[in-house]
Structure 1
Amino acid sequence: MARKPDGPLRKGWTTGACATAATRAAWQALLSGDFPDPVTITLPRGETPSFELIKAETGDGWARASVIKDAGDDPDVTHGAEIIATVRHGKPGNGITFHAGDGVGTITKPGLPLPPGEAAINPKPREMMIAQITELCETFGAKPDVEIEISIPGGAEIATKTWNGRLGIVGGLSVLGTTGVVIPFSCSAWIHSIHRGIDVARATGRIHVAGATGKTSEAAIRAFYDLPEEAIMDMGDFVGGMLKYLRKNPVAFVSIAGGFAKLVKLAQGHLDLHSSRSEVDFDKLAQTVALSGGDAELQDQTRNANTAKQVLELCQAAGVRIEDTIARQACESARATLDGAGAIEIVVTDRSGTIIARHGVGDFEPFRPVQAN
């Protein structure tokens, strides 16, 4: 994850807002013969951003407009992408329909806000586009029978950097955004993907899901239980975002896998594990060393340590199983957040992906690892 820069940050616009602006411009051109440039739209919270058009084309019964997505100072993978809307007159009585063009995905799995077979244009952006179409129809006395096709050139390649494949969205990106505004470093898209991953897992009958802080721990927990892709949540640092959603949308058994340093933070009560938003309390960690059987000298070494990794190495050299205590404390912290909505275990891995500690697996007896630990 990119590090948040110092100073005030510039907000940006979601793919949904950009698609809405392009749709309004194209439909207005089809009805009036003229493209509004810049085109202004009203977002759900009342903002009225204007967008400069990149494309402005018309043909027999269709019009096309595009804008460039500006995500502000957020490290959004779709920043700079061209969002294209092509609109056509639909069959009378068909209403407003949405279609996936080049670079926009199609839904193939249940559990998402739209059914399989639909273009991956989320409900809120659809609402935004419908509002603009309806307003223009009233202005120009037209019937709201419209086909809207959204395209994002290069979207299939960009989508490989997102969760879409795991969620069962094939062929490209999703058109997202509930407010139309991108708040820099809010990580809302990542947390949204975690939630959708849980929805897909539940809809496909998964009763065991696993969240991992990184690729190494993800590979370890996936191999340990032979879990399918849809059971793996790319949790990253957002353990709180995952657990709070699971509290309201439970599954029977949840595994949380991560490296020692990340899980020390969870053990100490942090639910956002990113280095810019939480840090290890070495005084508390020294208390954990004491609980694990470490002597006064080891506790002093812990208080003066530079990293959690260093503490783990000191404890391993002294034969003190601090990783077991951290697994137990992290499990208690996660269990408190989950608040009874399913059983939970913690799996601690080292940097090579070897599992060095587990706690909580006995809470849900049906699950057994594929191989011995």
Structure 2
Amino acid sequence: MAALYSGLMRVEKPEGELRRGWTTGACATAAVKAAFAALRTGEFPDPVSITLPKGETPAFPLALEEKGAGWARAGIIKDAGDDPDVTHGAMVVATVREGGEGIRFKAGPGVGMVTRGGLPIPPGEPAINPVPRQMMRDVIAELGGTGVEIEISIPGGEALALKTWNPRLGIVGGLSILGTTGIVNPFSCAAWIASIHRGIDVARAMGLGHVAGCTGSTSEDAVRSRYELPLEAMLDMGDFAGGLLKYLRTHPVARVTIGGGFGKISKLGQGALDLHSGRSQVDLDWLADQCPELPRDKVLAANTAQEVLEMADGVDLAARVARAGLATVRDVLKDAPVVADVMIVSRRGEIIAHAA
């Protein structure tokens, strides 16, 4: 099952070996186990160990222990390792109450509720992903529980959620409890691409006919303003053009707009589908081919694509690059029933080229 949203932030990868961390789902599961053990025995296991889906057995120290008549509560500070996750350092709290039938999940303060279709969890349910739900059921069963209410909360989670895709996806009131393996691998491209896919799923479920994928906030603002698109139509593509376009090929919408700066769209025009500076570079030879009016040696001596654009005064280089980018987009979409267009946006937020 795909995650509701990872909460990744855009920062550059640090040097050296990266330390992995634990998902909110793993932390919540450990907190549930500690709280339920205290409810049953009167004692909180600290640290508390759980078994992850692939068999690993990490141990988590407790940051909170509370209990009363018929309930117990445990909290664990999330350690995301070296991953740029907004939930790093947040406390994931589980309150368990025994009684009733089956295992019921409740969103406490800082955990969101699902309000739209297209996600792994249906509307009206707490934003707790399927795998963490199963992990929590498993630890309750391990301790002999049958009828239990599990409430998960994250103090300050409502504010943190504003830094994630949750508001766009229709997850209101807080963060998601997620993870499929329990482990956060630093700077996971897969996690970001999965969040793009969920955005497409939600847009389709809402019946939106036009979505946009942009490389950054400046191009996103320009494209959104141009088309008056709702926030839910704006897919946080970042550098992962291929991840967006390949998913649209099998999960189409009527129209997609790709927006970005001149350098990023130049790389798209060259055929690159990962536009990150560490994984693809602007080919100045290719750029020189797009503007034969300029002295080739001057283009090849340029430091950046932006410098070439600035020297191409009187040459509609941006339009040529936008058309090349559109050709790449159409090539990836193949015969999918998706109309595409590409916009190049200046650093000042102006649309300087549009290919359709």
TM-score (norm: length of structure 1):
0.90
What does 1:133-282 align with in structure 2 at a 5 Å threshold?
A: 133-137=140-144, 142=145, 144-282=146-284
Corresponding residue for 1:324?
319
Equivalent runs, 1:1-373 vs 2, <5 Å: 1-91=10-100, 94-137=101-144, 142=145, 144-290=146-292, 294-295=293-294, 297=295, 299-315=296-312, 317=313, 319-341=314-336, 342-360=338-356
1:365 maps to none
The 3-state SS of whatever aligns with 1:352 is coil
Question: How far apart in 2 are the matches of 1:29 and 1:6?
Answer: 42
SS in 2 for 1:127: helix
Measure the CA separation in 1 of the matches of 2:329 and 2:87.
33
**Whole-angstrom distance in 1 between the partners of 2:50 and 2:247:** 32
Q: Which amino acid aligns with 1:309?
A: Q
Q: Given residue 317 of structure 2, which amino acid in structure 1 is its aligned partner? A: I
Deviates further, 186-195 or 36-45: 186-195
Q: Residues 132-191 of structure 1: CA distance to partner in whole angstroms, max 9, x if unpaired?
A: 112221xxxx4x111110000010111111111111111111111111111111144432
For 1:12 and 1:101, how far apart are their aligned partners in 2? 24
Aligned position for 1:364: none
Instruction: Tell me by how many angstroms 1:306 deviates.
Output: 0.4
- In the aligned structure 2, how far is the partner of 1:232 from the partner of 1:89? 42
Supply the distance in 2 between the matched residues of 1:43 and 1:285 (Cα, whole angstroms): 49
1:309-364, Cα deviation, whole Å (9 max, x unpaired): 1011111x1x211112211111121222222222211111111222111122xxxx
The one-character-per-residue Cα deviations of 1:50-82 (angstroms, maximum 9, x if unpaired) are 100111221111111111100001111110000
> Equivalent residue of 1:27, what SS?
helix
Q: Which moved more, 1:256-265 or 1:337-346?
A: 337-346
Q: Which amino acid aligns with 1:330?
A: G
Q: Distance in 2 between matches of 1:106 and 1:334?
A: 35
Give RMSD over aligned pairs: 1.3
Higher RCO, Cα 8 Å, sep 6+ = 2
d(CA) in 1 for partners of 2:202 and 2:98? 34
CA distance in 2, matches of 1:223, 1:75: 29
Corresponding pairs, count: 346
What SS class does the counterpart of residue 298 from structure 2 fall into?
Answer: helix
After alignment, is 207-216 or 182-191 more displaced? Answer: 182-191
Distance 1:131 1:339 in 2: 44
Moved more, 164-173 or 234-243: 234-243
5+ residue gaps, structure 1, are 361-373
Aligned to 2:7: none
TM-score for both structures, normalised by structure 2:
0.94
> In the alignment, which residue of structure 1 is the partner of 2:3?
none
Find the aligned partners of 2:191 and 2:77 in 1 and give their Cα distance: 19
The residue aligned with 1:370 is: none
